[in-house]
Structures are given as structure tokens and as C-alpha cells.
Amino acid sequence: MAGKYKSIALALATALTAAPVMMKQVMAQQIGTATAVNPSSEATPPGGPTTTLTVGARVLHKERIHTSLTGSVQLLFLDKSTLSIAPNTSLVIDEFVYDPASNSGHMLTKLTQGTLQYIGGQLSHQGAVTVETPAAVIGIRGGIGVVSQGANGTQDFNLNGKHSIQNGAGTTNTIAGFMVNIPNWNTPPGPPFPIPPDLALHNITILSSKFGQNGGVPGLNNLNTADLQPPSAWLPTNTGESDALQIIIESTQRATQPNPPPQQPEIGSNIRGNLP
């Protein structure tokens, strides 16, 4: 009889131990969807195993995303913002709260390695979007930004809207078309300067699908985007952001063509910067 009670107690203890893990999985909140995935890209939900991402996969609160040297991902969030993740990148969607009734909430992404591109949705109109790296905390309001973290620290590229960059040694702000280098947390952010064309092209290249990749969508290679032309400027309006998103989507489609485009667009000035 004592053995029977002991077995029951052991089973109960096991169930109680497993309950928090099960509860975490049940309570994990879906905050978005993977809309494009090139292999190999992985996701680790809170309290769950690491799995390979596929198009249509749910993106959960506190989920860790990791891409290989050839992997890339595009995520679409509930507030209609998007996050494009370049190869060899690790990040966590650390906080995402969104109330569609009031279009309010906040988003925090922690980037530990690599490059991401954020295109604003409802939350960024309120300045409620933050990207945190080992070197800085970057606030994005109403726009589009690229953030890179590498051996030389953090680089913030403001493509549209307003960015605020802060760390333990200082604060600076940027406007569209400018970037900032931040070596580490204890060194003030450098002065803003115009985004060099080689860095702009570098970011476009690493954030686009490689030739032969299709973002996880069969048949994408056959789309005709030969007449694609970028606009002269992206204005901080809903229309401007929608146009920018369309250009980026079509640029990704162009990158999946079996042959490279005949020429690259000319971008910006010829000032050079340091790659992270």
C-alpha cells in the first residue's frame, strides 16, 4: 500500500513539475507570422524546442530567431509592421503588446548579432518601437530602419522617420538618410552622417533573397519585376511607407530571378563608412 501511495505522489509531483512548462506553451501569445523564409532559419519559442521556420509559421512572444549564413526571414506582425532578418543573425522578440482597438502598445527587439530591417506599422507611429543591442538602445518612430550588430559595435541606418540612439555614455538623434556608428555601450554614439552608397547596397544585398532562393514560396522566381524603379524619396506618411514596403518586396522578388539584374541602382553619396 505504501508503494502505491508513493507512486501516486511521484506521478503528482511529475505533473506539477511539467505544468509550468505546459502553461508557458499554452499562454505563448502569437504576435506575427513568417511571410518569407530562406533556409536555414530557426525559431525557439519560450519553453519549447528549436524548430526550422517555414512560411506561415506562427511567431510567438519571447521567441528567439536565428538564421544561418544563407538563411533569411521576413516576419509580419499584428500591427502590420515587418521585420526582415539577414543571414547570420540572432535576435529575440522580447516584448510585443498591441491593442488593435486603440492602435497602442509597444515592441522591443533584442539584436545580439547580425542585421535586421524594421518597416513601421501602427506602433512605430507612436514611437513605441525599440531595438536593443549590446552597444545601444534605438528608438524608431514612424519609419524604416536597419540596425546591424557586429565586431565593431552597432550601426543604425535611418531610412525614414526619426531615430533616437542612447547608451551609457550619451544620446543622439537622426533623420532620414543618415546613420550612426556606436562602438560599445560606454562610448557615446558617433555623429550622424549621410548613409554611404556602398553600405546601402550592402544592406539591400544581405536583406534580399539570394539568386535561386524563393523565400519559401514556389513559383516566385518567375515574377516579372524588370521595370522596378525606386522612388526618389520616401516620405513619413502611410502612403510613403506602403510604397517603400512594395519596393522592398519587389526587390526581394527580383533577387530570386535566375540571372542577376543588369545594373544596380545608384544610391546616395560616395561617403564611406565602416562595416560592422
What's the CATH number of domain 30-205, 2.60.60.20, 1.20.1260.10, 1.10.357.10, 2.60.120.1440? Answer: 2.60.120.1440
By the 8 A CB rule, do 88 and 206 touch?
no
Closest to 245 measured CA to CA, from 92, 9, 36, 12: 36
Rounded Cα–Cα distance for residues 56 and 247 (Å): 22
Rounded Cα–Cα distance for residues 176 and 234 (Å): 9
Rounded Cα–Cα distance for residues 261 and 255 (Å): 8
Phi-psi region of 4 (alpha: psi -120 to 50; beta: other; left: phi over 0): alpha
Long-range Cβ contacts of 224-231 (<8 Å, 24+ apart): 225/250, 225/251, 225/253, 225/254, 225/257, 228/254, 229/265, 230/265
Q: Is 57 helix (H, G, I), strand (E, B) or coil?
A: coil
What is the per-residue pLDDT for 242?
53
- At which residue does the C-alpha cell 519553453 appear? 47
CA 244 to chain CA centroid, Å, is 16
By the 8 A CB rule, do 249 and 230 touch?
no
- At which residue does the C-alpha cell 524604416 appear? 144
Q: Is 65 helix (H, G, I), strand (E, B) or coil?
A: strand
Integer-rounded Cα Rg, in Å, for the chain is: 21
Q: Which residues of the chain have pLDDT under 70?
A: 1-28, 211-212, 214-276
What is the per-residue pLDDT for 3?
52
What is the per-residue pLDDT for 127?
85
Closest to 166 measured CA to CA, from 141, 135, 192: 135
Pairing relationship of beta strands 90-99 and 82-85 according to DSSP bridges: unpaired
By the 8 A CB rule, do 15 and 45 touch?
no
Question: What are the residue ranges spanned by the domains of the chain?
Answer: 30-205
Closest to 94 measured CA to CA, from 46, 153, 56, 27: 46
The single-letter DSSP state of residue 147 is E
